[in-house]
Structure 1
Amino acid sequence: MAREILLNAFNMNCVGHIHHGLWTHPRDRSTEFNQLSYWTELAQLLERGLFDGLFIADILGVYDVYQNGIDLPLQEAIQLPVNDPLLLVSAMAGVTRNLGFGVTANLSYEAPYTFARRLSTLDHLTQGRIGWNIVTGYLDSAAKAMGRPQQVEHDRRYDQADEYLEVLYKLLEGSWQDDAVLADRERRVYAQPGKVHKVRHQGEFYQVEGYHLSQPSPQRTPLLFQAGSSPRGLRFAGEHAECVFIGGNDHAAVRAQVDKVRASAVAAGRTAEAIKVFMGIAVIVAPTEAKARDKHAEYLRYASPEAGIAHFSSSTGIDLAAFGLDEPIQPRKTNAIESVVKTFSGWTKRRLLQQHALGGRYPLVVGSPEQVAEQLIAWIDATGLDGFNLTRIVTPESYADFIDLVVPELQRRGRYKTTYADGTLRHKLFGQGPRLPADHPGAAWRDPGRLQHPHSTANELRGLSHNALSLL
């Protein structure tokens, strides 16, 4: 039986996100990003379209690599200004019942003890619809703004991330037992003291001694997203991620990435199906192919290819303004996004400008509803993808067009749901309950006795996870 396509809207709490320059289009509303109604209306629109989630990107720091400054990012609003994504969620959750929210937060600058409370709070308020996109950051501008001389080396950031996740698992999964809360008015016992446990963690990066401040939320640990296709990033994904976000421009390359992601899960002792894989994609659709092509041509008039490669410059850590149009771009060691540097090695600036014609480098599908549906299905069937992160080009027009034209066509072909499943975001996507599965390293910390061994690691406890579950 053909799989149903999973779908997230890909957005950011800013004006210019992926398709740079389109904020100047007369029908685009992204300059309203500071207004709560902009986000609540978007959430209601996406829920009407049965989207699985709204994936909200974020960045700390500024894109100051291109031309060694921020003149162009300011002029073209290249993810600047950018506001906090987590503060949007409560309002959007209040006007929806099923839409999930994947929020990006940089662990390099967040204390795990306080961040764990923020995640639990959002999981409570959304009734289990929160996900966390785990990032470590890659901009030197962010490191300097946080008082550091430069960004930490690429693989070293993942070492820190591994330990960060361990601390979170201890707090979210182990500090409070499932039956800790009684809320017994007559006995005047809200929570049972013997069921709430202190976390003691003494590691290389973090030292924590304390109780998690929030009682267990529907998912405990939010659904875990991650993006990163370097060897170290894939190892991290195999250990921790439940959803992985990748990029790609042809079926063969994406198939290879999907296979690597699934192999990383197996190498970590999980199943290949333990990770859902999403690819970023852009869609321009209209009732007919001719009208879709006309709309594409219209959008191109407002796009800024130069702004697109200014964004790309910071992704690589290489100032592309310094290259001639036909000069091959040679990779060099940076602490930016390692996989991006390798993928585009040898490209010329002219080729990058052509790729960024619509202001971004994501694959673009243009056509009638039937043509778009066929291409999306072809991507899924040829690559093993589970779904897409759909970018906004003109907002909210891009999402509304997709919902009104493509969703019914996918449903007609049996490739998209016709109603939401019940339960938390994790259960909606995996159908296996609200909590981390037993083979996930976070499950190892459900045994309260394990919290008293501050030097233990989740890997050492993986073999004990089933026993730990039986003790609760």
Structure 2
Amino acid sequence: MTPPAATVDSASSGVDQLSLSGDGSSSKRMILYAFMMGCSGHQSPGLWTHPADRSRHHNKLSYWVDHAKLLESGHFDGLFLADVLGGYDVYGGNLNAALASGAQFPVIDPLLLISAMAAATTNLSFGITATTSYVHPYELARRFSTLDHLTNGRVGWNVVTGYLDSAARQFGAKNQELHAKRYEVADEYMDVVYKLWESSWADDAVIHDASKPTYTRPDRVRQINHKGKYFESVPGPHICEPTPQRSPVIYQAGSSGPGMAFASKHAEVIFIAAHKPEVAKKRVEAARQGAAAAGRDPASLKVLALLCPIIGKTDEEAQQKYDEHLKHGSDEGALALFGGWTGIDLSTYGEDEELRAIESNAIKSAVENFATQDPTVPKWNKKAVANKIKLGGLGPTIVGGPESIADQLQSWVDDAGVDGFNLAYTLAPGTFEDFVELVVPILKKRGVVWSDYPKVAQPPAESVTDGPQKGFGINETIGITSREKLYGVGQKTFRKDHYASKFTWKAGQDAPSLD
């Protein structure tokens, strides 16, 4: 296992989030998200067959509410929900492998899970994947504003353009638009939603003045009249009043050139998948350089690494779990996911065929990447590729006892400069139960995660003279918002160096120009 390296000061800044444990430690705080999806197994296809796994119940509300409660008990920052709108049908040219193994198919809508989980928690945040390719920005803006209201500011949007042709076909296209064009569309899409969220209502538009009577001041609401290349006419105004964060926190996970350019301009959090810290470090540095070139404080862009921990009470027990879980993984499911992620269909190759010898640059590139991650594999055939993917997907799987896992996490922070982690699972809820019970106490003792969520000021108490004296929305307790977790208590809206801040219509001020 990798020991923790000496602490390095990466992108020191006033927005570099420090430990909020209250013990005086100045260690960089690890941001912790759980990585899930409304399906079985998610990044570990086939693990639903393990008797301790419950992910086959992903369509039950209690499955999600209980996970939310568990994560909040461990003071996680949030739960990040992936999503797709199509199936993994590259492998074998059909959905059979995905269907038989339950590999991210069937899958339910993540947005509809949030309200129930928010009602069961106070501080846990929710990152929700939604595409710019198939939902109109006016409609999506209302969905996220609704959730930001109902959660008291605990939502973020993982902006994706899509990557499955199977999804495009459901919306009447033969395949997806070219990659660069999808990001061009997404960039205009962001302008539309920013104008709706930030600029069609002033902060002081809604006054609830019964003496006048005036609910909303008409002079503090306006049309945005967006006219663009891809969205020809979106007049506005936004149908929702300003929310606690106004706009959700913006997440992004694209690693291509257009994806990184998009992240430099828009993202507040990016997710990366790299097999070791030295590879991750290059991506972290590139992301921060991009943010700086966009006029932002580079430390304001938070980077979370995808990791899948397998935790035992000892290193030996953890290794036993790894071996056991590997037996429950689905080779076919892993190869179906691989096909969707890479566009490579390995079904036409023999079971024992050496994939590094195949005359295909795409296959060679993918397999060489795996070989670099694990040079001990004697022959990279289909089975080896499946074994590499079926526990944790494309991200690294770390195995060990509690101290070892904590050391490995600290090594990623110190050596790669990441701000935290998006933690995948092999067993739901077992992976997160082990992490909360065994690893979080060690991280708390080291002062690198919260011992409790920071307290935030509550709204002025509302006194009522008639009707219910409590409940029904009166004097609701609020927790820390998603953006405050990144930048400190009080920073609920975009920082001043973020592109979208120019759109914000502030109280007592004239409306900003939308040109």
Q: Which residue of 1 aligns with 2:439?
A: 406
Does the CA-based 8 Å contact 2:41-2:427 persist in structure 1? no
Q: Structure 1 CA distance, aligned partners of 2:253 and 2:70?
A: 26
Equivalent of 2:355 in 327, 331, 341: 327
Q: Which runs of 4+ in 1 moved over 6 A?
A: 339-342, 344-347
More contact order relative to length (CA 8 Å, sep ≥ 6): 2
Report the Cα offset of residue 131 of structure 1: 0.4
Equivalent residue of 2:225, what SS? Answer: strand
Equivalent of 1:286 in 302, 305, 312: 312
Q: Which residue of 2 aligns with 1:378?
A: 411
Q: Which moved more, 1:82-91 or 1:324-333?
A: 324-333
Q: Structure 2 CA distance, aligned partners of 1:233 and 1:343?
A: 20
Alignment of 1:23-422 (within 5 A): 23-206=48-231, 207-324=233-350, 325-328=353-356, 330-331=360-361, 349=382, 351-358=384-391, 360-421=393-454, 422=456
Does the CA-based 8 Å contact 2:183-2:258 persist in structure 1? yes
Q: Structure 1 CA distance, aligned partners of 2:106 and 2:186?
A: 27
Equivalent residue of 1:134, what SS? Answer: strand
Q: Which residue of 1 aligns with 2:377?
A: none
Report the Cα offset of residue 286 of structure 1: 1.6
Q: Give the residue type in structure 2 aligned to 1:177.
A: A
What TM-score, normalized to structure 2? 0.84
Q: Structure 1 CA distance, aligned partners of 2:419 and 2:381?
A: 32
Does the CA-based 8 Å contact 2:392-2:425 persist in structure 1? no
Equivalent residue of 2:133, what SS? Answer: helix
Q: Which residue of 2 aligns with 1:463?
A: none
Report the Cα offset of residue 361 of structure 1: 3.0
Q: Structure 1 CA distance, aligned partners of 2:422 and 2:186?
A: 24
Q: 1:93 to 1:395 in 2, by over 3 A?
A: same
Does the CA-based 8 Å contact 1:105-1:135 persist in structure 2? yes
Show CA shifts across 1:294-320 (max 9, x none): 222211111123311210111111212
Unpaired runs of 5+ residues, structure 1, are 334-338, 457-472
Q: Give the residue type in structure 2 aligned to 1:191.
A: T
Report the Cα offset of residue 31 of structure 1: 1.1
Q: Which residue of 1 aligns with 2:483?
A: 426
Q: Structure 2 CA distance, aligned partners of 1:359 and 1:449?
A: 48
Q: Which residue of 2 aligns with 1:336?
A: none
Show CA shifts across 1:81-127 (max 9, x none): 10100000000000100000000011111110111111110000000
Equivalent residue of 2:234, what SS? Answer: strand
Does the CA-based 8 Å contact 1:200-1:208 persist in structure 2? yes
Show CA shifts across 1:32-67 (max 9, x none): 111111111110000001000000000011110000
Does the CA-based 8 Å contact 2:483-2:491 persist in structure 1? yes
Q: Which residue of 2 aligns with 1:462?
A: none
Does the CA-based 8 Å contact 1:243-1:277 persist in structure 2? yes
Q: Structure 2 CA distance, aligned partners of 1:41 and 1:99?
A: 13
Q: Which residue of 2 aligns with 1:461?
A: none
Q: Which residue of 2 aligns with 1:445?
A: 503
Does the CA-based 8 Å contact 2:43-2:391 persist in structure 1? no
Percent identity, aligned pairs only, is: 45
Q: Which moved more, 1:377-386 or 1:423-432?
A: 423-432
Q: Give the residue type in structure 1 aligned to 2:401.
A: S
Alignment of 1:5-24 (within 5 A): 5-24=30-49
Q: Structure 2 CA distance, aligned partners of 1:182 and 1:342?
A: 61
Does the CA-based 8 Å contact 1:66-1:310 persist in structure 2? yes
Q: Which moved more, 1:164-173 or 1:361-370?
A: 361-370
Does the CA-based 8 Å contact 2:200-2:222 persist in structure 1? yes
Report the Cα offset of residue 358 of structure 1: 2.7
Does the CA-based 8 Å contact 1:113-1:212 persist in structure 2? yes
Q: Which residue of 2 aligns with 1:470?
A: none
Equivalent residue of 2:421, what SS? Answer: strand
Does the CA-based 8 Å contact 2:326-2:387 persist in structure 1? no
Does the CA-based 8 Å contact 1:90-1:122 persist in structure 2? yes
Does the CA-based 8 Å contact 1:315-1:340 persist in structure 2? no
Q: 1:342 to 1:160 in 2, by over 3 A?
A: farther
Q: Structure 2 CA distance, aligned partners of 1:35 and 1:348?
A: 38
Q: Give the residue type in structure 2 aligned to 1:222.
A: P
Q: Structure 2 CA distance, aligned partners of 1:147 and 1:268?
A: 36
Equivalent residue of 2:157, what SS? Answer: strand
Does the CA-based 8 Å contact 1:104-1:135 persist in structure 2? yes
Q: Structure 2 CA distance, aligned partners of 1:296 and 1:440?
A: 42
Q: Give the residue type in structure 2 aligned to 1:434.
A: K
Does the CA-based 8 Å contact 1:305-1:360 persist in structure 2? no
Q: Structure 1 CA distance, aligned partners of 2:453 and 2:99?
A: 40
The structure with the largest helix share of the pair is: 1
Q: Give the residue type in structure 1 aligned to 2:310.
A: I
Q: Which moved more, 1:345-354 or 1:191-200?
A: 345-354
Show CA shifts across 1:172-220 (max 9, x none): 0000000001101111100000000101111111121121010000001
Q: Which moved more, 1:309-318 or 1:221-230?
A: 309-318
Show CA shifts across 1:431-454 (max 9, x none): 161000111111111256445x5x
Equivalent residue of 2:105, what SS? Answer: coil
Equivalent residue of 2:355, what SS? Answer: coil
Does the CA-based 8 Å contact 1:183-1:190 persist in structure 2? yes
Does the CA-based 8 Å contact 2:308-2:392 persist in structure 1? no
Report the Cα offset of residue 291 of structure 1: 1.5
How many residues in Structure 1 have an aligned counterpart in Structure 2?
A: 448
Equivalent residue of 2:251, what SS? Answer: strand
Report the Cα offset of residue 332 of structure 1: 5.4
Does the CA-based 8 Å contact 1:62-1:141 persist in structure 2? yes
Q: Structure 1 CA distance, aligned partners of 2:246 and 2:418?
A: 27
Report the Cα offset of residue 356 of structure 1: 2.2
Report the Cα offset of residue 341 of structure 1: 10
Q: Give the residue type in structure 2 aligned to 1:429.
A: L
Q: Give the residue type in structure 2 aligned to 1:441.
A: Y
Report the Cα offset of residue 342 of structure 1: 10
Q: Structure 1 CA distance, aligned partners of 2:48 and 2:371?
A: 30
